[in-house]
């Protein structure tokens, strides 16, 4: 086997995202990777949790990879895909037995499905958590991530079957994603014109008894913070969607700002602090206040993406054909520094593909060609580190 590229799992953010991007790229490009100290910066000893292992196993199977170390709590894996992908049903089910984030599993496998699948649409149903702290919720994915991916030509539709929570006693949920694989390279994209904020959507989940209180709190905050939220004089659209969370300890709020150029910036929070009887008012006001303030800080930087989306787009920028730009905004005259997650994503794509990100959030992608799972253009050859010693198909065209 060709010597795998080594990635040290404690680098920068040192969490699960490093692993997801690495195995996503490896399964597509067939570049073998070896990760040590997986999630080495996480408390509790790090290693693969069920959610990570699910992605490793699924991608390993789909890309016909030789795996070593793929077990729960494992801190080291080698992932070496076969040149030929395995035929996979276009209707698949990924079952997690814990409320591990459904959307982190999707984050790991989506590039592979988009870039190397059949000509048929793919339907993937994932079981696990739809609302899990420190991960994209089902709502964030369907209201922010997927609409932004659709702007650049990647069609993914989501359908929620049931909620799965990591709070208020764990519960499993499920969602289906209908993914239309790309049939050609992803063209370079530019998210660099923010436009004005013209509407805000709130998605609130809480016990039914709290609905009117929550709506009122949102209304008060929208009028109090109107100037900070909307930068034009036109009549802004505000929409509030409420859903019964069916549990007195499950509270979640997502706010999404849409701009005149169709950009979506989102911020959310799953209330996971202590719950004490009689503290509902406090929970609702702190939830609304926090999410509103977070959204305003995303709006204020004037960029086209929120801090979370920025790291989630890195893999697509790296695989696209040509120079893609994602404007992360400016604060006090200086470009907003990429989050540690974004820096980690930049590091991984540089280690595996040799793609270099510029300070302005741009990079020259490798023009990965879907369905073939191999490297094609001269530009790719030039970019991919160690290409000469790697045993992968290179189409001279």
Ligand X SMILES: Nc1ncnc2c1ncn2[C@@H]1O[C@H](COP(=O)(O)OP(=O)(O)OP(=O)(O)O)[C@@H](O)[C@H]1O
SS3 30: coil
Write the DSSP symbol of residue 336.
P
Q: Which is nearer to ligand X, 268 or 364 (CB)?
A: 268
| Beta carbon of residue 175, minimum distance to ligand X (angstroms, whole number) | 15
Write the DSSP symbol of residue 82.
-
| Beta carbon of residue 28, minimum distance to ligand X (angstroms, whole number) | 18
Binding-site annotation, residues: 107, 308-312
What residues contact 336, with CB distance under 8 A and at least 6 apart? 301, 303, 307, 328, 329, 330
Binding-site annotation, residues for ATP: 107, 308-312
**Starting at the edge strand that comes first in sequence, how are the strands of the sheet with 321-326 ordered?**
190-191, 321-326, 362-366
| Beta carbon of residue 118, minimum distance to ligand X (angstroms, whole number) | 27
Q: Which is nearer to ligand X, 48 or 390 (CB)?
A: 48
Write the DSSP symbol of residue 95.
-
Of 34, 198, 301, 341, which one is the catalytic site residue? 341
Q: Which is nearer to ligand X, 232 or 293 (CB)?
A: 293
How many other CB atoms sit within 10 Å of the CB of residue 267? Answer: 24
Q: Which is nearer to ligand X, 97 or 134 (CB)?
A: 134
| Beta carbon of residue 42, minimum distance to ligand X (angstroms, whole number) | 4
Q: Where along the sequence are the contacts to ligand X (CB under 6 A)?
A: 13, 15-17, 39, 42, 104, 134-136, 140, 268, 308, 311-312, 341
- Per-position b or e across 216-236, b if 16+ CB within 10 A of its CB: ebbeebbeeeeeebbbeeeeb
What residues contact 313, with CB distance under 8 A and at least 6 apart? 148, 191, 305, 326
Annotated catalytic residue 341: yes
d(CA 247, CA 160): 18
Active site residues: 341
């Amino acid at each position: 086997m060709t010597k795998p590229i080594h990635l040290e799992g404690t680098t920068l953010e040192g969490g699960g995202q490093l692993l997801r991007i690495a195995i996503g790229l490896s399964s597509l490009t067939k570049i073998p990777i070896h990760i040590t100290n997986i999630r080495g910066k996480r408390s509790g000893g790090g290693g693969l949790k069920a959610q990570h292992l699910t992605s490793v196993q699924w991608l390993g199977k789909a890309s016909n990879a030789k795996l070593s170390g793929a077990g729960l709590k494992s801190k080291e894996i080698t992932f070496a895909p076969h040149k030929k992908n395995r035929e996979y049903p276009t209707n698949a089910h990924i079952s997690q037995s814990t409320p591990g984030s459904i959307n982190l599993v999707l984050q790991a496998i989506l590039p592979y499905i988009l870039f190397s699948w059949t000509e048929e649409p793919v339907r993937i149903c994932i079981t696990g958590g739809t609302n899990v702290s420190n991960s994209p919720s089902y709502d964030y994915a369907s209201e922010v991530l997927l609409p932004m991916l659709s702007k650049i030509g990647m069609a993914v539709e989501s359908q929620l079957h049931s909620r799965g929570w990591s709070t208020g006693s764990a519960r499993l949920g499920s969602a289906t994603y209908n993914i239309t694989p790309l049939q050609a390279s992803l063209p370079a994209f530019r998210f660099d014109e923010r436009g004005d904020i013209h509407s805000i959507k709130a998605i609130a989940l809480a016990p039914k008894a709290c609905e009117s209180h929550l709506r009122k709190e949102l209304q008060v905050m929208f009028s109090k913070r109107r100037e900070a939220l909307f930068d034009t004089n036109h009549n802004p659209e505000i929409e509030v969607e409420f859903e019964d969370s069916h549990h007195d300890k499950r509270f979640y709020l997502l706010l999404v700002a849409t701009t005149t150029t169709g950009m979506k910036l989102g911020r959310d929070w799953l209330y996971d602090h202590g719950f004490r009887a009689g503290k509902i008012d406090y929970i609702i006001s702190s939830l609304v206040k926090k999410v509103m303030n977070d959204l305003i800080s995303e709006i204020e930087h004037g960029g086209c993406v929120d801090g979370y989306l920025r790291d989630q787009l890195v893999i697509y920028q790296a695989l696209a054909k040509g120079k893609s730009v994602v404007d992360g905004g400016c604060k006090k005259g200086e470009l907003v520094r990429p989050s540690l997650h974004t820096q980690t994503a930049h590091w991984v794509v540089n280690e595996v593909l040799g793609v270099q990100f510029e300070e302005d959030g741009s990079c020259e992608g490798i023009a990965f060609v879907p369905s073939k799972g191999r490297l094609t253009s001269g530009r790719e050859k030039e970019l991919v580190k160690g290409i000469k010693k790697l045993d992968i198909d290179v189409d001279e065209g």
